[in-house]
Amino acid sequence: MPVGYLDVPTGVDVGRKRELVKVIYDALHEAYPFPDDTRIFLREWPLDSVSQNGLLGSEPARPVFIVHVPQGTKIDAKRTMLKKINKAVADAYRLPDFMTFLHEHPLDVVALDGALLSDDQQRVEDQTEAYS
């Protein structure tokens, strides 16, 4: 279920982006192995579309990663995941002050194809087992 949005400046080539999303996927999947449905969206912003502290076009741009994940994984798994993601973004963009926000969701507030995940008892059991 992890769904992430990486907001970054433009300018990184597609090869480096492929490497980046693979490392992010691997880190997310290690922390959140069930189910294998991880989505990562790269949102690139030109500097004239980014404001930092009220200044349009201020440099260097500081990347942000927002990821929606299920509740229940262990804190050490989160720490390991965040270190790997931070390193991958730092290697790709070489920018300071990379921030990540984890939005954790219980299964009763997430739907897939119009059905609450909490209504699928097998999924609830499988996820509980995967994260314990």
- DSSP-based helix, strand, coil % in the chain, nearest 5: 45, 25, 30
Percent of the chain with pLDDT over 70: 100
pLDDT at position 131 is: 84
pLDDT at position 105 is: 96
Q: What whole-number distance in Å separates Cα of residue 3 and Cα of residue 12?
A: 21
Is a pLDDT exceeding 90 seen at residue 122?
yes
**In the chain, what is the straight-line distance between the N-terminal and C-terminal CA atoms, in Å?**
17
Is a pLDDT exceeding 80 seen at residue 117?
yes
Per-residue pLDDT tens digits for 62-114? 999 999 999 999 999 999 999 999 999 999 999 889 999 999 999 999 999 99
Is a pLDDT exceeding 80 seen at residue 132?
no
| pLDDT band per the 50, 70, 90 thresholds, residue 61 | confident
Q: For the whole model, what pTM was predicted?
A: 0.92
Q: What whole-number distance in Å separates Cα of residue 61 and Cα of residue 108?
A: 36
For tokens 């990821």, the residue is: 67
Q: What whole-number distance in Å separates Cα of residue 22 and Cα of residue 47?
A: 26
What average pLDDT is seen over the chain?
94
pLDDT at position 1 is: 86
Contacts of 80 (CB under 8 A, 6+ apart): 27, 30, 31
State mean pLDDT over 42-48: 95
Residue 54, token pair as written in the block:
């009220």
State mean pLDDT over 13-30: 97
